[in-house]
Amino acid sequence: MTLASNSELIVEAQTPLPTRHGSFNVYVFRSAHEPEGREHVAIVSGDVKGAEDVPVRMHSECLTSEVLGSLKCDCREQLEAALGRIARNGRGVVLYLRQEGRGIGLTNKIRAYALQAQGVDTVDANRELGLPDDSRTYDQSAAMLRWLGVQSVRLMTNNPEKEQALRSLGVEVRGRIPVLIRPNPHSLAYLETKRDRMQHKLPVQLLAVGTDDAE
C-alpha cells in the first residue's frame, strides 16, 4: 500500500525498527524518475521534522562489504559508524541509496574489481570499462529530506562533492562531519585513490596508520 506520494517520491512503507545500534523509524521510498522497482530507505532517529543542523549520511549501497564482508572498502564501517552516531545523538538520518558501485551497478562493479585485482585503481578501472568515475545522483536524497521536513543538515561524509550536490539541489548544508575509518591492508590503496584522485578529505595520518598495518 502506498502511504504518500508527490511528483518526486512515492512513500511505500514505514515502521519502527529496533537494531543493535538503537531504535529507528524506517521509511521506504521509490522515486518516480528512476528505474522501476528501485527503492531507497531513510533510517531516522528522533524527531527531525522542522529540525536544523540534523546529522545526515547519504550512503550508497555496497553489497560486497555490507553482505559479503569485503575488506576492499570501508563502506560497511562507514554505515555502521553513521547509524551508531545518530542513535547516540538521538536525532539524525541515514539515507540508504540503491546506487551500487558509485552508480554503475553490481555487475560492472565486479568487472571493475577484476581489473583492480590486476593492479588498476578504482578510477582507471571504471574508465577502462567505459564508465564514469562516479555516476551517482542525489535528487532522491534532497526529495527525501524535504519529505521528512529537515530544514538544514550537517553532512556525514569525507566527500566534498556530496556537499556541493545537496546544496545545488536546494538543501542547506551547514557543515561536514568526517566519517574516518581505520584502513586495513586491503582497503588502503582504495582510500589513497579516493584522497588523491577523487578529492576525499582523508587525513594523511589516518592512511599512514594503514601503511603501518600493511607492514
Say if CB 31 and CB 140 are below 8 A apart: yes
**Which residue in 76, 102, 111, 136 is the catalytic one?**
136
Domain boundaries, the chain: 1-99+138-181, 102-135, 183-215
Closest CA to 2 of 14, 16, 20: 14
Tens-binned pLDDT, residue by residue, of the chain (215 aa): 334 444 577 899 999 999 999 999 999 998 777 666 689 999 999 999 999 999 999 999 999 999 999 999 999 999 999 999 999 999 999 999 999 988 899 999 999 999 999 988 889 999 989 998 888 889 999 999 999 999 999 999 999 999 999 999 999 999 999 998 888 888 888 888 888 888 788 776 677 754 444 32
Q: Which CATH number fits domain 1-99+138-181: 3.40.50.150, 3.40.50.10990, 3.40.50.1010, 3.40.50.800?
A: 3.40.50.10990
> What are 66's three cell numbers?
555490507
Burial of residue 47 (CB within 10 Å: 0-12, 13-18, 19+) is exposed
Is 124 an active-site residue?
no
Contact 120, 84 (CB under 8 A): no
Catalytic-labelled residue, pool 134, 139, 182, 196: 134
Active site residue 176: no
φ and ψ of 208, to 5 deg: -65, -35
Predicted TM-score (pTM) of this structure? 0.88
